[in-house]
Amino acid sequence: MSESTAVDVDGQIQSVSRELRTGERDGEQTMVSSISQRYDTTVEDLWEACTSAERLRRWFAPVTGDLRLGGEYQVEGNAGGTIEACTAPHSFSATWEFGGNTSWITVRVDPEDDGARLTLKHTAPADTESEFWQQFGPGATGVGWDLAFLGLAQYLHSGAAKPQEAEGWEATEEGRRFISGSSAAWAEANVELGTPRADAEAARERTTAFYLGEEPPAEG
């Protein structure tokens, strides 16, 4: 167990399931990234942690707006959107609007054994041929979601602030292991999707460097 966080970051990487698949929305091809983890809490508690503005700021980010069906929200320094569907305490869907682009998230909370499982699906227009996807692959957003799930794991475990709030956390041994491990896991999901391993690994290296604040590896 790390001295700086109550959650074992190496174990956290293994506790999360990740999947990529293609889909379709409104007649257009999409890419769906799924991330899922079981937590030692109740469905009701996990739902509240994911939908209460007061609790979201403890492990995710400050969220403002009208957090109910049809309401608009804004994540501080990140995306905003509209809540399109909500069936408490089990699921909600919302647009995820950032940088002039619109994608969609669906969050589910399901009972599992004596705990509860959180599953987030992020659906975006298919862009596997775009320069950005070729450069970074699924880890560009996937590592960010992994960091959120890490924050939630710590918060539910001890009530402590998310470890990445600590200044320079990404440069610590713990932070580097977590970011590198998450990026590698998304690269494997990319390979399972059908991406050539060499391309997936090259994208992994660039994504890892981005999150660590390092220069990307030289081409060639």
Q: What is the pLDDT of residues 54-66, one digit of tens each?
A: 999 999 999 999 9
Under the banding of pLDDT at 50, 70 and 90, the label for residue 6 is low
Given a cut of 80, is residue 37 above it in pLDDT? Answer: yes
Handedness of CA 54, 59, 65, 71 (dihedral sign): negative
Q: What is the pLDDT of residue 80?
A: 98
pLDDT at 154 over 80: yes
Instruction: Give the DSSP H or E segment for 107.
Output: strand 101-112
Strand partners, 101: 98
Q: Is the pLDDT of residue 106 over 90?
A: yes
User: Does residue 2 carry a pLDDT above 50?
Assistant: no
Q: What is the pLDDT of residue 166?
A: 62
Bridge partners of 94?
83, 105
pTM: 0.92
Q: 205 pLDDT exceeds 70?
A: yes
Q: Give the residue from 82, 200, 96 showing the smallest Cα distance to 144.
A: 96
